[in-house]
Structures are given as C-alpha cells and as structure tokens.
Structure 1
Amino acid sequence: MAEPLNVLTLNCWGLKYLAKYRAERLAQIGAELAHADPQPDIVGLQECWTQKDYLAIRKQTQHFLPYGKFYFSGVFGGGLAILSRWPIDESSMVQYPLNGRPTAFFRGDWFVGKGVACATIKMQDRDGRRGRTIQVFCTHLHAPYEREPNDSYLCHRTAQAWEIAKLMRRARVAGNLVLALGDFNMVPLSLAHQLITTHSHAVDAWRELHPSSSLGAALDAVERVRDLPIPSAAYNITENGATCDSVLNTWRWNKSDQKKLFSGTDRQIHGETPDPRAKRLDYVFVGDARGEWQVAKAKVGMRMRHPELRVSLSDHFSVEVTIEPQEGTGPTVVDDEPEKFLPVETYDRILHVTEQYTARQRFQRRARLGHFGGQLVVWIGCLTAVWWSPRNFVSFILMLVSGLGLTAGVIDGLIGGLFVSAELRALKEFRWEIENARDMAKGK
C-alpha cells in the first residue's frame, strides 16, 4: 500500500512594500513548515510575491521538500509557488482569460496575471520506484470587493472557476490523481464552488469530512437563513474550516488592538469568543477517477504567532489535508464515468451574471471610446484657439490642458478599444461553454 499523502495550502500575504513584517513572517512560515507534523508532501503557496521570500522558504524545507517551482506571470507576478517531495516532471502557468480590469490598478488583480500554476509530479516510494502521477493545480481566484450578488467581479471569479475545473477534469480523465489547492476567494456552494465540484468530479476535502459546515460567515444571508447560533472561534476552526477573518487572526483585529499589539500589549482570544465574520476561502479539492484515494483528515493550520512579533503569520490560516489509499481498489475505466451537471437553473444564474457584466462592459467600451473622441475634438479645438490667443500664458494653458486631456483620452481609448474588446470576446467564449453545458444538462 502507498503511504498517506499530506497536502498543505497557504495564502502567505506576502505583498511587497504593503504587507507589514512581510520578510519576518514568511521566514517564520518556512520555519513552521520545516517542523510540521506530519510533514507535507506537497505545498501550494499564494501571495508569495518575491523570489527572495520563496527561496527563504525553500532553504528551510529542502530537506523534505527538495523540489519546487516559483511561477511567473503578469506584470508583477502571480505569487504562486508549489513545493514537492518528488520531482516536478512538467510545469506550466495558465493565465485566466477573464482576470480583472487594468483600470483597477489599486487592486492589482489584472496586473499580477492571475491564473493556475500546474505541476505534474510522479510519486515515488522509499526505494525510488515511480508510481501514480499527481496533477497539482495551485491558484488564487479574483478577490471579492463587494458582497455577492453585487460584486462586479463575480463573473470573473465564476469564469476562473470554470477554467480550473476544465483543467482538473482533463487531468482526471487522463487517470491522474488531481489536487487543486489555493485561495479560491469563494464560499462553499457558491456558483464558483458548484462549478468546480461538479464539472471536475473532484471533492471539497473539508466538506467531505464536514458536510454540515458553514456556507459563509455567520453574518452572511446564506448563514442567517440556517438560523444557527453565532459560532465560537474554536468551532469555526475545527468544524467550519474558517481560514479567513477569524478573530484568532491578529491581522483581522481592529486598528486599535493591532496598534496595542505592535507596541507590546497582547490580547488573548479564547476559543469560546463569538466569531461572526470568519469564513472559509481556502480549499483543497481531490479528484481520483480510479477511486484509490480517499480524504482521511483535514484541519486548519498555521494558526501560531510569530514568536517575537506576536502577530499571525498571515492574514489567512492554512488548510492541511491527508488523503490515504483505500484497500482493495484498482484502476477503473475513466471514460465510462457519466458526466455530472448542475441544475439548469444554476446555469441560468451564471448566464444572467454573465449578461449583466457583458452589458456593463459594452457601456464601458462606448464610454471610453467616446471619451477618446471627445478629447480628440478638444485637442484640435485648443490647437486652433492658439492662433487667436492674446497672451503666451493662455497658449501654454491651452496646450497643457489639451495635451493632458488627449493623453487621458488615448489611454481610455486603448482600454476601451483593446482591453474591453478582448474581454468581451472572452465573455462570449465563456457564455457559449455555459450554454453548451446547460443544453447537455437539459438533454440528460
């Protein structure tokens, strides 16, 4: 029998220049990984933005995770990395077709080129004999900046979930053991979650062991309708799998408490403390068409503090999953497995979200191209007005205003004519694929 396989995923919150105590925290993350029990065989990191931090973690874990890959994408990099006990045979970075907007430069999702870090890994036993192939997918979906359904990036995140689900399904059909892990920025049973679990035929490791766990924060509408008491911090960790916004995480404290902590005054949070905002955003999905592996354990980890700074190691906790081989199982014929579909109404909801966002972007394209045209007219008008300018300073003001306006108009025109047009084409592809899945669901 093969040995159990231990998997860990963590959003490190390693934003360069922006994340407080970044270098100290990520160095400590490497130290904690090095002493983890059990030691992980595969680790997926998100928001590990700099190679320096990545190499610091690699150095501390190389005795049991000798292989790794830091992934490059976008303008600033996607912040994704995979560490492995076994050699990485193949690797690729697949960027999402729909991935935020360049105009939201203060958010950065588009500039980091979010996508899926893919790694093909062959397991080996202690004698060096190669066994089952693992296909690892590490990702960080587009962040939500408003509450659903008013989140203007809901369409992006749903489309990204569809893309990774397709990658997972292809790997699974090929007979590989599929592991998808990362910060998915979604709550359980959301549209994105349903797409992944249904179309990839993978299971959410946490819900596999905790099927009644929460579907969001206790303050969210989806949880309020369940009419359950506000969970405690301990219950959120052990039963709900909350990895984000926990009262146990110092980076989620209010500014006053954080300031006291930075000055040396700690605040102890007991497990019985009500925890209404905590939710699960980080996941490990497991897909195995052969039925040789099953989820055995899942826990929320990396909850310790930095030993000197007393801050949490990240603004997220980790998800740590153990999958074990099942006795008496053997290869099955993958192609004979029936396709699974969501209810037709769910596809209709996704299409509605897509239509709403498409209409928004069509308006954006018209407005931006109109802005360019208007600024071009103003520029020509100012050039003409210079001929009749009574003073040199008036000519200077006209040229300055027209030049700045034309520059803004050109940028807007490029965004509307190039980026938005490309986005609309990607939306058409996504819409067709969802419509096709809906039609297949109808005919099932």
Structure 2
Amino acid sequence: MGGELGFVRSATHISNWTMSFAKQDVATNAPEVDSTLLELPASLRVISLNCWGLKFISKHRHERLVEIGHQLAKASPEPCIVGLQECWTQQDYLAIRELTKHILPHGKFYWSGIFGGGLAILSKWPIEESTMYRYPLNGRPAAFYRGDWYVGKGVACARIRIGPARKDVVEVFNTHLHAPYEGEPNDSYICHRTAQAWEIAKMMKHAAERGHMVLGLGDFNMVPLSLAHRLIEAHAPVRDIWRIVKPDSAIGSAQSAAEKARGREVPSSEECLTEHGTTCDHRFNTWRWDKQTRKDLDRGKDTEVDPTVADPRARRLDYVFFASQDGQRWEVEDVEVGMTMRHPTLRCSLSDHFSIEATLVRQQVVVSEEVTMTKYLPIETYDDILAMIAKYNVRERKQRRLRLTHFGIEIGVSIGCFIAVWWSPHNFVAFILMLLSTLGLSAGVLDGLMGGLFVGSEIRALKEFEYEIRNAWEQALRDQ
C-alpha cells in the first residue's frame, strides 16, 4: 500500500486507473459469478461516512481521503457495504477504490448536478443495478454561497445481490440531505429537507415491498426524533439502528431545547461517542477546535482532549436505517461511532464527521411474519407539515413576484439608459450609462430566470409534495 500517493500524483496512471474502474463499474451491472454458487453471508458490516471532500475548500482533502481508504482497508471486522458522502472528486474516489479493492472490489461513483452529488457506494458484491435520483426540492440557486442546489443532492441507489435466492438482495440508499443553516423550526430550508426525507422514505418502502433488505445510509442533517426522522420511520419499515441498540440515547446536542427538556446531565465526550452516537461537532474532532488551536496543530503542537469533560455541542447527524428482507431475520449485533482516529502525519481528524458503523447478523430461523409497511404519524403532525408547505409556498410566490418585478424594472432602466446616451454631453457619461444598463439588465435577467423558471418549478414540486402529504393524512385519518 506504500506507493498509492505517488501513484495518484501521476496523471497518466490516474487516466489508466479511471478507465480500469469505469470498466469495472459497468461490469457490476451483471454478476461476475454464477449466482447459484453464492452463499448468503452470516453477517454484514455496514459503514456510512461523510468524508468532507470539498474540492478547493476542505483542507488537506486528498491526504485525508487517502487515509480514509487506508482505514477502510484494514478495518476489523471488514466492511461489506460502505456509503460515502461528500466524496466529490474522481481522484479521491479512485484512491479509495484502489486501497480497498481487495475487500470491496465493486463500487459506483454517482454523477449529479453541476458540481456532482458527492455520493459513492462500495460493495463486497456486484452492483446489479444503480440509479441516481435527484430530489425535486433541493435549495435555491440564489444561495450560490451554500451550494446545495448546485451539487444536485439526491439518493444514490444500488441493488446488491448477496445470496443465491431471488430475494437475497440488499437495496442501498445513500444520501445527503439539505443542510440546516438555521435551527428548526426557523430554518428556511426545513420544507426542502422534510420533502427529501419523504422521498427517500418512499424509496425504502418500495424496496421493502419487493421483499429485499433495505439499508438507508448517509448524512441526513437531522437529529433523532426530529420531524424528518419521524417521517422516515413512519412511512418506511426501517429503524434507526442506533436507537435499536441505544433507545434512550440523546435526541440532539445537550444545548438543544429537545434534549434540555429531558432534564439529563450533559454527557462527557466519551459518553457522546459510546452512548449517543454523536458524529458531528464532537470535541475529539480537530475540525471543531478553535482557529488558534488548529493553527497550533498545523505547527506540530497537539492538544490532548480529556474524554471525561462534558461535551454540550456534540450531536448525531449520520445514520444507518435498516429493514430486514422478506423470509429472513437479520438483527443488529452492534453499532458504533468509527473513524475517530487522526491522520498519522497531519494529526488532523480524517473528516469533520465521524462514521456510523453497524454489524447485522442473520438468524438461522426463517420467519414469515409480514412487515407493516406504513405506520402513520399523529394527525396533527401532518397538519404541521401542510402548514409548513403553505407558509413556504407563500414565501416563494412572493419571491417570484419580486424577482419578476426586478426583471421588468431593469428592462425599463436599460431602455432609459440607451435613450439617455443620445443626449449625453460627454463620452464618460455615455460609458457610465452603458455600464449601468449592462450590469443592471444582467442582474435583472438572472432574477427573471430564477423567478420565472426555478421558482415556478419549485412551486410545482411543492404541489406534488402537498398532495402526497394530504393523501397520507387522509389514510391516517381512516385508519384511526
């Protein structure tokens, strides 16, 4: 494994490497071996990790992701299925593929949006089918400094055969939901994130109806028992693995209103990892440290973190959701937070998130009980979602009016500037008028496109979301 860094630096090798794995990705659409020779495994090790691999933005990006590959390659127990988020570049993905190919010989890098979706799935078994599903509601182009709209967030889907029987299939759904830029319920993007949770819940439900095992992996940007979390567990027959094992774990950071209402003591850093599964904003993570402490680390001065000190900010945003396949019982053997080690030379954490890692074991007794596909939320919860949609719809319609009005005003200003040029007494005055016309009309056209095209598309997607929630509300009302 010692020559990978030099290998990655070579442009020629990267080109050959890309072609090699592109062929392999295509080949995974069909099993490489006779399926009758496969044996259903006794256990599955599953890992989900947000790699924080933003090109040009994330510090030490490639070095960290290469080390993530090293850690996956030597992990014990060996991972069988890995879902990566924020793995944005082919260079990083291929580096991880090369390092893990002896245990995870199959994989898929998912293409989406203007800058890519950042999603990848690695597997011990061939990927029979794959799909990249983009969320209909996913941020706004005006918020270019946030980037969610531009990366085309969605669900990376992979159908993986793990045994000889027709239903010995795992359907993996790997995602990264819209980031919360303000705290709920005042987050202006909560409607988008809720709609995204609804979409992935439908996909996992349909997979379970096909009789397949379901794994939902990713950075869901939500805390346990939040609206999106409850929506997923109610409308898909999946469970949050951490809460299966640790049902009394935290439902947010110790600073959150929901956790304060429980009246619990602030957990220590060690307890946050072992008991509450906190993957983000943890004191052990060097990317949470203040700027001066990080600068000291870059200069070689490390800081020891006392695991017994309280950690009020740590929270869990990363999940593994699970539903057993038809005719077999799979149970959770263990679940833990992983990837907490540091880079061996840089001494920084491998990502700004830790991983969620779980082991599922197959029971020998075949069961035949039916799985309840849909549980319903309380009626008032659906009312709250419909009210949220209505409020957001009013906001976006107002935005559309303002943007189209701005477009119309800029057309008028531009025409006025062209007319004024005829009577301008000096060349520099004419230049200023032409510059004002050009810049103003450019801004107006952009606003007009966003108001007329994007907001219109968003409002139509909201109508679909509203219909589906109202339909669920009616069914929940009938079943009461």
Please give the TM-score of this superposition, normalised by the length of structure 2.
0.90
Shift of 1:326: 2.1
- More displaced stretch, 284-293 vs 239-248: 284-293
Render the CA deviation track for 1:120-146: whole Å, top value 9, x for unaligned.
Answer: 00004xxx8887100000000001111
Go from structure 1 to structure 2 and tell me whether the alpha carbon gap of 1:289 and 1:29 turns closer, same or farther (over 3 Å shift).
closer
Match of 2:351 in 1: 314
Quick check: 1:356 aligned with 2:395? no
| Residue in structure 1 matching 2:101, options 54, 62, 65 | 62
Match of 2:251 in 1: 215
Aligned residues: 439
| Residue in structure 1 matching 2:210, options 155, 162, 174 | 174
- What is the alpha-carbon root mean square deviation over aligned residues? 1.3
Match of 1:164 in 2: 200
Match of 1:191 in 2: 227
| Residue in structure 1 matching 2:142, options 103, 110, 114 | 103
CA contact (8 A) 2:85 2:175 kept: yes
Match of 2:36 in 1: none
Shift of 1:256: 1.2
| Residue in structure 2 matching 1:251, options 257, 277, 287 | 287
Match of 2:15 in 1: none
CA contact (8 A) 1:123 1:130 kept: no
CA contact (8 A) 2:329 2:362 kept: yes
Quick check: 1:230 aligned with 2:256? no
Quick check: 1:439 aligned with 2:474? yes
Shift of 1:338: 6.0
Match of 2:362 in 1: 325
Secondary structure (helix, strand or coil) at the match of 1:55 reads: helix
Render the CA deviation track for 1:81-123: whole Å, top value 9, x for unaligned.
Answer: 0000000000010000000011111111111100000000000
Paired amino acid for 1:277: R
- More displaced stretch, 254-263 vs 72-81: 254-263
Match of 1:380 in 2: 415
* Structure 2 runs not aligned, ≥5 long: 1-39
User: Where in structure 2 are the equivalents of 1:122-161 lying within 5 Å?
Assistant: 122-124=161-163, 132-161=168-197
CA contact (8 A) 2:170 2:213 kept: yes
Go from structure 1 to structure 2 and tell me whether the alpha carbon gap of 1:289 and 1:67 turns closer, same or farther (over 3 Å shift).
closer
Quick check: 1:344 aligned with 2:379? yes
Paired amino acid for 1:429: E
Render the CA deviation track for 1:351-372: whole Å, top value 9, x for unaligned.
Answer: 1221121111111000000000
Secondary structure (helix, strand or coil) at the match of 1:111 reads: helix
Partners of 2:177 and 2:61 in 1: CA distance: 22
Shift of 1:288: 2.1
Partners of 2:339 and 2:282 in 1: CA distance: 13
Paired amino acid for 2:132: M
Go from structure 1 to structure 2 and tell me whether the alpha carbon gap of 1:58 and 1:2 turns closer, same or farther (over 3 Å shift).
closer
User: Where in structure 2 are the equivalents of 1:408-427 lying within 5 Å?
Assistant: 408-427=443-462
Quick check: 1:271 aligned with 2:310? no
Partners of 1:347 and 1:384 in 2: CA distance: 56
Shift of 1:300: 0.2
Q: Percent identity?
A: 59
Render the CA deviation track for 1:164-209: whole Å, top value 9, x for unaligned.
Answer: 0000000000001000100000000111101111101100000000
Secondary structure (helix, strand or coil) at the match of 1:390 reads: coil
Partners of 1:135 and 1:227 in 2: CA distance: 39
Match of 1:297 in 2: 334
CA contact (8 A) 2:251 2:259 kept: yes
CA contact (8 A) 1:46 1:182 kept: yes
Match of 2:433 in 1: 398
| Residue in structure 2 matching 1:32, options 71, 85, 90 | 71
Match of 1:74 in 2: 113
Paired amino acid for 1:43: V
Shift of 1:392: 1.8
Partners of 2:350 and 2:132 in 1: CA distance: 27
Shift of 1:3: 1.0
Shift of 1:294: 1.4
CA contact (8 A) 2:280 2:353 kept: yes
Secondary structure (helix, strand or coil) at the match of 2:103 reads: coil
Please give the TM-score of this superposition, normalised by the length of structure 1.
0.97
Match of 2:402 in 1: 367
CA contact (8 A) 1:289 1:332 kept: no
Partners of 1:392 and 1:19 in 2: CA distance: 47
Match of 2:316 in 1: 280
Shift of 1:80: 0.3
Deviating beyond 4 angstroms after TM superposition, the runs of 4 or more aligned structure 1 residues are: 128-131, 331-334
Partners of 1:86 and 1:373 in 2: CA distance: 57
